A and B are shown apart, each in its own frame.
Chain A
Amino acid sequence: MQRLTRLLLGAATIALAAPLLAPAALAEDSPDPIVIPIHNWSSQIVMSNVVGQMFEGMGNSVEYVSTDSQAVYEAVRLGDATLELEVWEGAFGASFDAAVAKGGIHDAASHNAVTREDWWYPLWTKEACPGLPDWKALNDCAAKFATPETGDKGRFLGGPVDWLKHDQEKVDALGMNFVVVNAGSAAALWAEIAAAEKDKTPIVLFNWTPNFAEAVWPGEFVNFPEWVEGCDKDPAVGPIPDKTYDCGNPANGYLKIAAWDGMKDKWPAAYATLQKVSFTNAQIAEMAKLVDVDGMEPEDAATAWMEANEAVWKPWTE
C-alpha cells in the first residue's frame, strides 16, 4: 500500500514537473552533499576540486574528505564517499576490482589518459650510463648504481611493498645485476631524487606518469621487453622462455572514475556530468604543476584551471 502511494506520488511529481523543467533535470539531485575523497597527491586533489566546483556550479553541495587511497574503495562501496576520480590500473586496480566484486561500486567513466608505472631515471643519469633507456644498457652499468648495502650490484629503489610491483621477479627473470630496495612511501622516493639531484648521482627508481615529478625532474622510463598479455603468468610468453615477469609493465594502463552505485539515483544530474568527465595526461600534469611547482593551494589551483579551460569542462555540465 505504502509502495503504491509512493509510486503514485512519484508519478504525479514527474507529471507535474516534466513540462516545467529541462529534460536533463528530470529528477532533482538530492540536497545532501556529494562526498569526494581526496588523497595525498596533488593532481588528485586538484581534479577532485575541479569536479567538485563543477557540481557546485550545478547547485549541488560538495564535501571533501581525506582518505587512504587504498581504503577509499571500501568507503565508496558503502556510500561513505560518493566517487573516486583517479583509479589507477597499476596502483589501485586490485583494490578497485575487489570492491567491485563485493558490490556497491562501479566503473563510471574513463579518463582519456594513459598511466604508466615502471623503472625510471632522471635525465642526469644518462650521462653516467649513455646507453639508456635500454634495459640491457642499464644492466651493464649496474655498478654505477651501487650503494653500501647492495655491494657491487646496483640498487633499484622500488615503491612501498604494498604496491605489489613485482620488481624482484623482474630482476630474477631478466637476470639483472640489481638489488631491489623498497622505499616506504612516495615521499621517500622524491626525497631520494632530490638528494641525488644535488650532485647528479645516477639513480634508477620506481616512478609513474602522470605525476608532479616529471615537471620537476625531467626523466625517462627504462625500456624493458614490451609487455605482452600473460607475460606475468605464463613463462612461455615473453623473451625468456622459462620465466614469468620477463617484461616491462603495460605502457598504457587505464585511469578510471569509480562511483557509488547509489549516486545515479541520488544525484542523477551530477552523475550524468561525471560520466562525461575525461581529462588527458597533459591536463592532469598541469593540475599537479599548479600546486607542486607554482605553490598554489589545491582549491585555488582548481579555480585557476577552470578559468583557463572553460571550453574543456563547460560542455560536460550541460
Chain B
Amino acid sequence: MMTATLPQAPFRLEQKRIAQAILLAALVLVLFRNALPAGLLRLPEGLILPFADWINAAFAFARDDLGLMALTRAVSDAVEFCLDVTANMLYGKSRWPNVGPIPWVVIAATAGMAGHALGGWRLATLAAGTFVWIAVMGQWKWAMETLSVIVVAAPLSVLLGLALGTLAWRYRLAERILNPILNIAQSLPHFAYMIPVVVFIGVGPKAGAIVTVIFSVPPMIRMTLLGLRSVPPEIIESGKMSGATRLQLMTRVRLPSARTEILIGVNQVIMQSLAMVVLASFIGMPGLGQKLLQLLQALKIGLSVEIGVTIVLLAIVLDRMSKAWAVKQPAHAEGPWLHRHRLLAIWLGLVALGFALAALHPYFAEVERKQALSLAGPVDAVVGRVIDLIDPVTDWLRWFLITWVLIPLRDAFLWLPTSAVLLALAGLGWRTGGLRSALVCLAFALPIALSGWWDRAMITAYTVFVAVALALMIGVPLGLVGAANETRARRFLLVCDTAQTFPSFIYLIPVIMLFGVNDVAVIAAVMVFATVPIVRYTIEGLRGVPPEIVESAQMSGASRGQLLWHVKLPLALPTLVVGANQSIMFALFMVIIAAFIGTQDLGQEMQRALSSADVGKGFVLGLAVAFMGLMADHLLLRWAQSRASPGGK
C-alpha cells in the first residue's frame, strides 16, 4: 500500500476519522435536540460571563485612576491644532493662520499638476476634473471639510504605521503582540472602536480624525514590516560597507529600498480614510459624510448620489496618484534650475493665475450652492422609474423569500443547539487543520456563547450565510463573464472599485423602498456589498491561470466547458477562496451597517451601544463579529492551503 511509503497519509486518515466522529456527534445532538437538557441547547445563565462589565471596569480604571483621559485629551488637542490649520487653509475656518480659504481654482490646478507629475496627462485630467466637478456641483465646502480631516489623519496614520511597523520589524516581541491585535482590529466593526473614541476624545473633527487613524493604520504597519523584511541583505551589506550608522542605514538604505511596499501602505491608508468618511460622521466628522447622512434622512437620493460620486472620484484620484507614486522611481535631472523644476515653475504660474482669477470674480473662489449644477432631478427620476419597474417583481420575490427561504432558515439557525454548533465547528476545524484548527475554532466560537449574545450572533451568521451564498451565485458567473478578455476584465474591475468605495448608506434607502423593513432588504444590501470581492477575485483568479496550461488543455481537445470546469476553475480555486473570505468579511461589516434598515442581530445591539456610549458592550459585540470573521478566515485559508499543497488531496 502507498500509505507505508508516505508518512503523512496515516495522520491524514486519522484526522479525517476524528473529524467525522466529531461531526457525527454534532449530528446526533441535532437529531435528538428535543431530548437534550436545556444546558446543551443554550449555555445556562450561570455560565454567561459579564465580559462587558469587565471591559467597562478596565476602561474606567484607565480613565479615572491611570489618568489616561488627560493624555488622550492632550493628544486630541494637538490633533485639533493641526485640524484647525488645515480647516483654515481649505475652507476658511477662523483659526490661525487666518489666510484661507484657498480658492478652488488654485486647488484644482495643484491637483492637476500633481497628477501630471506623477502619471502624465490622463491622471492630470482626472485629478483636475474631480476638483472642478466638486466645485461646480457646489460641494466645495463639504469636500474641503472632509479633506481637511483626511490631510491630517492620513499622514499621522502613515507616520504611526511606519513607527509601529519598524518596531515590529526590529523586535520580535513587538511583532508577536501586534499581530493578533492587527488581526482583530481589521475585522472589528467600525462602530466598536468609535465608542471608546467618543469617551476618551469626545466628538467633532478631532474624533473623526483619530478614528480614521485607528481604522487606517493596520495595513500601513503590515506593509512597512513586509517592506523592511524584503530588503535584500546585499543592499544592507553595501550600506554597512560604506560606513553608514544605524540611523543612516535605516533612513538612507532600508526605508528607500522598501519604498514600493511602504507606498502601497500609503495607498491603503488613503483608501481606508476615504472609506471612513461617512461612518466617522456619526461621531462628528464634518463634511461630505455628514451631509450625506442629513440628505438621506430627508430621502434626497439624487443629492446623496452626487456626494457618493464625489467620494468615489476622490478615492479613484488618490488611489491612482499614490499608485503612480509607488511605481515611479526617483529620477535625477540635470541642467539649470528652470529646466530641472519646469513643473514647479508651471505650477507656481498656475497658482498665481488662480489667485488672480479668484480676485477677479468670486465664482472662482467659491461656487455658492445657488450657482451649483445638480444631477439630483434626473437621478431621482431614474431611481423612481427603476423602483416602479421592478416593484411588481419584488413584491412576489419578497413574499417568496420571506415565507419559504428566510424565515425557515433563520428559525433553523436559532433552533440548533449551541452544543451542536460548537461541536460541528470543532469538527470542521479538525477536518481542515487537525487539532490545532479545532482548538482555534473553539477559541473563537466559545467566547461568543459565553458572552450571552448567542442568539443574535446566530442571526448575524444566518444573514451573512444567505448573503454570501447569493453573492457567490451571482458573483462567480459575473466574474466568468468579466474574465473573458482583458478589456472587459478592466472594465469590470473598475466597476468593482466604484461599488466598493461608493458609500453603502446610499443604497440602503432604495433597498428599503423596494423590499420594506425586513430581512430581504437587509440581505439584499449585504449581498450587493459581498458580491464585489467575489467578482474581483474570480476575474483575478482566472486571469492568473498560466496560458501554457490552457493551451495544452486545448491541444488535448478539451471543450470550452471542460476547459472551464476541469482546468481553469480548479487552478483559480485558491484565489476564489480568498475572494469568498473577503466576501464574508465585507458581509460582516455591512451587516452591522444594515442595522440602519432594522435587524435583530448583533448590529442592532451595536447601534444601541453607540448611542449610549457603552464601551464594554460595544467591544463584546464587536469582538463577537470579529471572531466570526476570523474563524471563517482561518478555516477557508487553511482549506485553500491544504488543497494547494500536494499531499492535501
Question: Does B512 sit at the interface, judged by CB under 8 A?
Answer: yes
Neighbouring B residues of A78 by C-beta, 8 Å: 202
CB within 8 A of B284: which of A65, A147, A199? Answer: A65
Nearest-neighbour CB distance to chain B for A141, whole angstroms, equals: 19
- On whether A41 and B286 interact (CB within 8 A), knowing A184-B598, A194-B513, the answer reads no
Chain A residues whose CB sits within 8 angstroms of the CB of B293 once the complex forms: 40
Closest Cβ of chain A to B218, distance in Å, is 25
Candidate in A66, A147, A191, A300 with the most chain B CB atoms within 10 angstroms: A66
A20–B97 Cα distance when bound, in Å, is 34
Binary contact track A57-78/B, C-beta < 8 Å → 1, others 0: 0000101011110111011001
B245 at the interface (CB under 8 A from A): no
**Interface contact B388-A198, CB-CB below 8 Å:** yes
For chain B, residues 596 to 629, give those with C-beta under 8 angstroms from any C-beta of chain A.
596-600, 604, 607-608, 610-613
> Which A residues lie within 8 Å of B369 (CB)?
297, 300
Q: Once the chains are docked, how many angstroms separate the CA of A68 from the CA of B614? A: 14
B611 touches A188 (CB 8 A): no
9 A-B pairs (CB sep. < 8 Å): A70-B612, A71-B283, A75-B203, A148-B398, A149-B407, A161-B604, A181-B598, A291-B298, A297-B369
B598 near A188: Cβ-Cβ < 8 Å = yes
Contact A71 B203 (CB under 8 A): yes
What 9 A-B pairs have minimum CB-CB distances, sorted nearest first?
A191-B512, A184-B598, A148-B402, A70-B611, A195-B513, A185-B596, A162-B608, A184-B596, A183-B598
The CA of A70 and the CA of B198, in the complex, are separated in Å by 12
Q: Which of B351-359, B461-469, B514-522, B630-638 contacts A (4 or more CB under 8 A)?
A: B514-522
| Contact in complex: B516, A195 (CB < 8 Å) | yes
A80 CA to B604 CA in the complex, in Å?
A: 28
A278–chain B nearest beta-carbon distance, Å: 25
Give every chain B residue within 8 A of A188 (Cβ-Cβ): 508, 512, 517, 596-598
**Residues of B bordering A, CB below 8 Å:** 93-94, 198, 202-205, 281-286, 290, 293-294, 296-299, 369-370, 387-388, 391, 398-399, 402-403, 407, 508-509, 512-514, 516-519, 594-600, 604, 607-608, 610-613
> Which residues of B have CB within 8 Å of A65?
203-205, 284, 286
Q: Which residue of A lies closest to B204 (CB)?
A: A65
Taking CB atoms and an 8 Å cut-off, the chain A residues in 169-192 that contact chain B are 181-188, 190-192
CA–CA, A81 and B283, complex, Å: 13
From A40, A61, A68, B294 is in contact (CB under 8 Å) with A40
- Residue of A with least CB distance to B286: A66
Q: Are B611 and A162 in contact (CB under 8 A)?
A: yes
Does the CB pair A80–B599 fall under 8 Å? Answer: no
- Measured between C-beta atoms, what is the minimum distance from B232 to chain A in Å? 50
Which has the most chain B C-beta neighbours within 10 Å: A68, A74, A147? A68
Q: Identify which of B388, B508, B518 contacts A181 (C-beta below 8 A).
A: B518
Min CB–CB distance A26 → chain B (angstroms): 26
What residue in chain A is nearest B404 (Cβ atoms)?
A: A148
Closest to A288 in B: B298
CB within 8 Å for A181 and B517 given contacts A66-B281, A188-B598:
yes
Tally of contacts, chain A with chain B, CB under 8 A = 136
By a CB distance below 8 angstroms, the chain A residues around B508 are 187-188
- A173 vs B369: C-alpha distance in the bound complex, in angstroms? 51
Return the contact of A162 from the options B299, B403, B612 (Cβ within 8 A).
B612
A42, B202: Cα distance in complex, Å:
23
Bound: A68/B199 CA distance, A: 13
Task: Among A67, A72, A162, A183, point to the contact of B517 (Cβ < 8 A).
Answer: A183
Contact (Cβ within 8 A) B612 A147: no
Pairwise interchain contact B610-A68, C-beta atoms closer than 8 A: yes
Q: Which residues on B sit within 8 Å (CB–CB) of A149?
A: 402, 407, 518-519
Which residues of the partner chain B approach A42 to less than 8 Å between Cβ atoms? 294, 297-298
Whether A192 and B298, one on each chain, are in contact in the complex, defined by CB atoms closer than 8 angstroms, is no
Instruction: Choose one: B205, B512, B608; the contact of A192 (CB below 8 Å).
Output: B512
Residues of A contacting B: mostly? mixed
Contact (Cβ within 8 A) B608 A161 = yes
A54 to B104, CA, bound (A): 30
| Distance in angstroms between the alpha carbons of A314 and B607 in the assembled complex | 41
Decide if A184 touches B599 in the complex (CB within 8 Å).
yes
* Contacting residues, chain B, for A70 (C-beta < 8 A): 611-612
CB of A258 closer than 8 Å to a CB of B? no
**Residues on the B chain within 8 Å of A162, using CB:** 607-608, 611-612
Q: Which residues of B contact A183 (CB under 8 A)?
A: 517, 597-598
The CA-CA distance from A72 to B298 in the complex, in Å, is 21
Residues in A whose Cβ lies below 8 Å from that of B202: 75, 78, 80
Q: B residues within 8 A CB of A157?
A: 517
Contact partners of B596 in chain A: CB under 8 A: 184-185, 187-188
Q: Which residues of B contact A182 (CB under 8 A)?
A: 517, 598, 600, 604
Complex interface residues of chain A between 111 and 140 (CB less than 8 A to chain B): none
Specify the chain A residue showing the minimal Cβ separation from B522.
A184
Tell me, yes or no, whether A268 is within 8 Å of chain B by CB. no
Q: Quick one: given A147-B518, A148-B398, A181-B517, are A68 and B597 in contact (CB under 8 Å)?
A: no
Residues of A within 8 A of B93 (CB): 63
Residues of A with C-beta under 8 A to B403: 148
- Whether A96 is near chain B, meaning CB under 8 Å from some CB there, is no
- CA of A58 to CA of B598, assembled, Å: 45
CA distance A68 to B508 in the complex (A): 20
For residue A212, CB closer than 8 A to chain B, the reply is: yes
B203 touches A67 (CB 8 A): yes
Instruction: Decide if A41 touches B611 in the complex (CB within 8 Å).
Output: no
- Across the interface, name the chain B residue whose C-beta is closest to A94: B612
Measured between alpha carbons, how far is A277 from B286 in the docked complex, in Å? Answer: 27
Interface presence of A292 (CB below 8 A): yes
B282 contacts which of A41, A68, A212, A292 (Cβ < 8 Å)? A68
Q: Does A239 contact B (CB under 8 A)?
A: no
A262 within 8 A of B: no
A290 shortest CB reach to chain B, Å: 12
On whether the beta carbons of B509 and A191 are closer than 8 Å, the reply is yes
CA distance A61 to B284 in the complex (A): 20
